[in-house]
Amino acid sequence: MNITEKNSVVVRFSGDSGDGMQLAGNIFSTVSATVGNSISTFPDYPADIRAPQGSLTGVSGFQVHIGATQVYTPGDLCDVLVAMNAAALKTQYRYAKSDATIIIDTDSFGPKDLEKAQFQTEDYLGEMGIDPDRVIACPLTTMVKNCLADSGMDVKSINKCRNMFALGLVCWLFDRDLEVAFNYLKEKFAKKPAIAEANIKVVQAGYDYGHNTHSSATNVYRIETKNKVPGRYMDITGNKATAYGFIAAAEKAGLKLFLGSYPITPATDVLHELSKHKSLGVTTVQCEDEISGCASSVGAAFAGALAVTSTSGPGMCLKSEAMNLAVIMELPLVILDVQRGGPATGLPTKSEQTDLLQALFGRNGESPMPVLAATSPTDCFEAAYEASKIALEHMTPVILLTDAYVANGSGAFRLPNLAEYPAINPPYVPEELKGEWTPYMRKENGTRYWAVPGRQGFEHILGGLEKDDKTGAISTNPENHDLMTRKRANKVANIPVPELEVLGDKDDAELLIVGFGGTYGHLRAAMEEMRAQGKKVAMTHFRYINPLPANTAEVMKKYPKVVVAEQNMGQLAGWLRMKVDGFCPEQYNEVKGQPFKVVELVGAFNNILNK
């Protein structure tokens, strides 16, 4: 057997949306992560719940990048493409490298399948220009049927195991230990041991098929692990990590976690995840609308909870009035916006960074609000924790931006030790202030005190009308309104955030790459690639967008050329131009609903360097 050592490999599983590609992909990621490989995943599923079987619109994909050293993205193009049917091959081949190995189930390439996938002839490989030598063509459905012939399972259930054959075959291709996959299946189907057993049998059959036939195939790859960070890990998606971050913050602060939410793609998994954890006292209310999702959270914040509302762009439009109520009442609240393609309903399952200016400015009046953006699936945990800490300690609503890409993608998450996380200390009004306290009395840092209902002597009324700085009563006094506007602005502006870190050739770069949020991995990979080509390049990435890090202007003005690369039409670039005098960066903007492609970034950045 010919084993090739590789530094990193990208595998893409694709099939009908009912073919279980997400599960196969997840198990393969876990198996790889278990041996210490770095992983980055990207599920790419259709917006339709169940498009017609075998149709081009019903194809679901799952891409995973595994590496011996750190990988930053799920990869541009794949080295191995699994296509469970003709439609998958037709739509997914464009994500394959020119020398990629293609695994297909020949049983799903019959005349009807080809017709549904809009092939013109029976020579589908020829039509796509695929070299047959690169194809592992196996009658996968037939083999699964034979494998489970004695199981007593019906045809439908047997067909559901096809994904496991593909998984077994891929595990063979990468010389993976199957034990981890078996354990995963035993755990997942703990309540249905017969199903677990059938799946395990099929995984083994797929592995054996590869091993026995050596499938005309090409190579078996081996990804060794270098630069391991010892520790205990789990695979986590961005949305789950976000939910975990809120749970951790509530526990650290000693508060009840309250989520008011309304289902919306791609944020709903946060509602799902938090709804599960009632044993931790988490309270979730699935509200009648987005407005109520936010409004109920404002009520919960007043009542003394860590209040969160989760949504995506269209939902944040509806929440904005209640968000502003939290601004003027100075109550802690976290608004999670898992960005998707817009405007309006836009591209619900696809990813963009187009809500940045909405987050900063999308409300009436002077409405300062801290904005954070998570940079990766696992960073969602840290970002959710920090957003909660800022909200609670500074008595302000905070917007946490993630996006469909980081929310649905996953990474290996080193289990955090909550004891090592910074304390969260809300500014509860001290008992000794009883008698002189008024609702807008502030601490030295400009934060007002929090008097949670139930405390005698601190009864007070908050509201959406402007209040007198001293008495807390309704006030339309012009001087007072000006003062309160400035106090709210200063409070947010003075929130301490870490300085920008510059990576790469930070002293002598000719080009600085700037981004924010979920594009971190792609920009980092592009920078590494360019430095490997001998270019002098640095990058810096914004997690804190409001307030901006103190050294923002210094960093932006240090390098001869700066490019702001973002998945919108230039929203961060515009914000930076507004905040940094005379700053005029190059821009790289793309709004395709898909992650950046590193190769395209490198091309564009090289063009800027060479200009």
Partner 1 sequence: MATYTAQDYKKGQPRWCPGCGDHFFLASLHKAMAEIGVAPQDIAVISGIGCSSRLPHYMATYGMNTIHGRAAAIATGCKVANSKLTVWQVSGDGDGLAIGGNHFIHANRRNIDLNMILLNNRIYGLTKGQYSPTSPRGFVSKSSPYGTVEDPFRPAELCFGARGHFFARAVATDAPGTVEILKAAYNHKGASVCEIMQDCVIFNHGTHDGIYDKTGRAKNAIYVKHGQPLVFGENNEFGLVQEGFGLKIVEIGKDGVTIEDILVHDAKCQDNTLQLKLALMGDGDGFPIALGVIRDVEAPTYNDAVEAQIEEVKAQKKYHTFAELLETNDIWEVK
Cβ–Cβ < 8 Å for 93, 56: no
The one-letter amino acid code at 340 reads R
When asked if residue 486 is in the footprint of partner 1 (CB under 8 A), the reply is no
CA distance 303 to 258: 10
Q: 50 is written with which tokens? A: 């169940």
- Binding segment for partner 1 (CB under 8 A), chosen from 51-59, 350-358, 462-470, 487-495, is 462-470
Map the footprint of partner 1 across residues 389-418, applying CB under 8 A. 415-418
Map the footprint of partner 1 across residues 184-223, applying CB under 8 A. 184, 187
For partner 1, give the closer residue by CB, 165 or 233: 233
Tell whether the torsion through CA atoms of 33, 37, 38 and 41 is positive or negative.
Answer: negative
- Binding segment for partner 1 (CB under 8 A), chosen from 26-34, 62-70, 211-219, 599-607, is 26-34
CA distance 283 to 30: 30
When asked if residue 458 is in the footprint of partner 1 (CB under 8 A), the reply is yes
How many beta carbons lie within 10 A of that of residue 302, not counting itself?
18
- Longest Cα–Cα distance of the chain, Å, equals 86
- Binding segment for partner 1 (CB under 8 A), chosen from 64-72, 78-86, 230-238, 368-376, is 230-238
For partner 1, give the closer residue by CB, 216 or 471: 471
When asked if residue 145 is in the footprint of partner 1 (CB under 8 A), the reply is no
Nearest partner of 404 among 521, 262, 265, 293, judged by Cα:
265
When asked if residue 30 is in the footprint of partner 1 (CB under 8 A), the reply is yes
CA 516 to centroid of chain Cα atoms? 13
Cβ–Cβ < 8 Å for 286, 312: no
- Binding segment for partner 1 (CB under 8 A), chosen from 345-353, 372-380, 394-402, 449-457, is 449-457
Question: Residue from 325, 335, 384, 572 that binds partner 1 (CB under 8 A)?
Answer: 325
- Within 8 A by CB and 6+ apart from 487, the residues are 440, 442, 446, 469
When asked if residue 59 is in the footprint of partner 1 (CB under 8 A), the reply is no
When asked if residue 332 is in the footprint of partner 1 (CB under 8 A), the reply is no
Q: Shortest gap between Cβ of 26 and partner 1 (angstroms)?
A: 10
CA distance 16 to 384: 34
When asked if residue 233 is in the footprint of partner 1 (CB under 8 A), the reply is yes
CA distance 25 to 21: 6
- Binding segment for partner 1 (CB under 8 A), chosen from 126-134, 457-465, 513-521, 590-598, is 457-465
When asked if residue 454 is in the footprint of partner 1 (CB under 8 A), the reply is yes
How many beta carbons lie within 10 A of that of residue 587, not counting itself?
18
When asked if residue 300 is in the footprint of partner 1 (CB under 8 A), the reply is yes
When asked if residue 298 is in the footprint of partner 1 (CB under 8 A), the reply is yes
For partner 1, give the closer residue by CB, 5 or 459: 459
CA distance 52 to 43: 20
Map the footprint of partner 1 across residues 266-295, applying CB under 8 A. 277-281, 283, 285, 287-289, 291-292, 295
When asked if residue 244 is in the footprint of partner 1 (CB under 8 A), the reply is yes
- Within 8 A by CB and 6+ apart from 522, the residues are 72, 73, 595, 596, 597, 598, 601
Q: Shortest gap between Cβ of 416 and partner 1 (angstroms)?
A: 8
When asked if residue 311 is in the footprint of partner 1 (CB under 8 A), the reply is no
Phi and psi at 190, nearest 5°, equal -55, -35
Map the footprint of partner 1 across residues 162-181, applying CB under 8 A. 180
Q: Shortest gap between Cβ of 526 and partner 1 (angstroms)?
A: 27
For partner 1, give the closer residue by CB, 34 or 351: 34
Question: Residue from 10, 140, 148, 307 that binds partner 1 (CB under 8 A)?
Answer: 307
For partner 1, give the closer residue by CB, 229 or 584: 229
When asked if residue 457 is in the footprint of partner 1 (CB under 8 A), the reply is yes
- Binding segment for partner 1 (CB under 8 A), chosen from 97-105, 133-141, 240-248, 552-560, is 240-248
When asked if residue 305 is in the footprint of partner 1 (CB under 8 A), the reply is yes
Give the DSSP per-residue string, 29-67: HHHHHHTT-EEEEEEE--SSSSPPTT-GGGEEEEEEEEE
Q: Shortest gap between Cβ of 464 and partner 1 (angstroms)?
A: 5
Phi and psi at 50, nearest 5°, equal -145, 95
When asked if residue 441 is in the footprint of partner 1 (CB under 8 A), the reply is no
Exposure class string for 432-448: b at 16+ Cβ within 10 A, else e: eeeeebbbbebeeebbb
The residue written with tokens 């199903």 in the block is 195
- Binding segment for partner 1 (CB under 8 A), chosen from 17-25, 65-73, 231-239, 427-435, is 231-239
Between the CA of residue 523 and those of 42, 78, 313, 568, what are the distances in Å?
16, 19, 24, 15
Applying CB under 8 A, the site for partner 1 has a residue count of 73
For partner 1, give the closer residue by CB, 474 or 584: 474
Question: Residue from 10, 11, 33, 538 that binds partner 1 (CB under 8 A)?
Answer: 33
Question: Residue from 84, 164, 248, 602 that binds partner 1 (CB under 8 A)?
Answer: 248
When asked if residue 470 is in the footprint of partner 1 (CB under 8 A), the reply is no
Question: Residue from 127, 208, 251, 466 that binds partner 1 (CB under 8 A)?
Answer: 251
Question: Residue from 154, 459, 479, 508 that binds partner 1 (CB under 8 A)?
Answer: 459
- Within 8 A by CB and 6+ apart from 305, the residues are 255, 256, 257, 258, 283
For partner 1, give the closer residue by CB, 14 or 32: 32
Q: Shortest gap between Cβ of 252 and partner 1 (angstroms)?
A: 8
Q: Shortest gap between Cβ of 126 and partner 1 (angstroms)?
A: 43
Phi and psi at 538, nearest 5°, equal -130, 165
When asked if residue 430 is in the footprint of partner 1 (CB under 8 A), the reply is no
Nearest partner of 289 among 327, 318, 324, judged by Cα:
318
Task: Assign 229 to helix, strand or coil.
Answer: coil
When asked if residue 242 is in the footprint of partner 1 (CB under 8 A), the reply is no
For partner 1, give the closer residue by CB, 291 or 503: 291
When asked if residue 254 is in the footprint of partner 1 (CB under 8 A), the reply is no
- Sheet with 283-286: strands ordered across: 283-286, 257-261, 306-311, 333-339, 397-403, 371-373, 544-546
Q: Shortest gap between Cβ of 533 and partner 1 (angstroms)?
A: 31
Q: 27 is written with which tokens? A: 């198990």
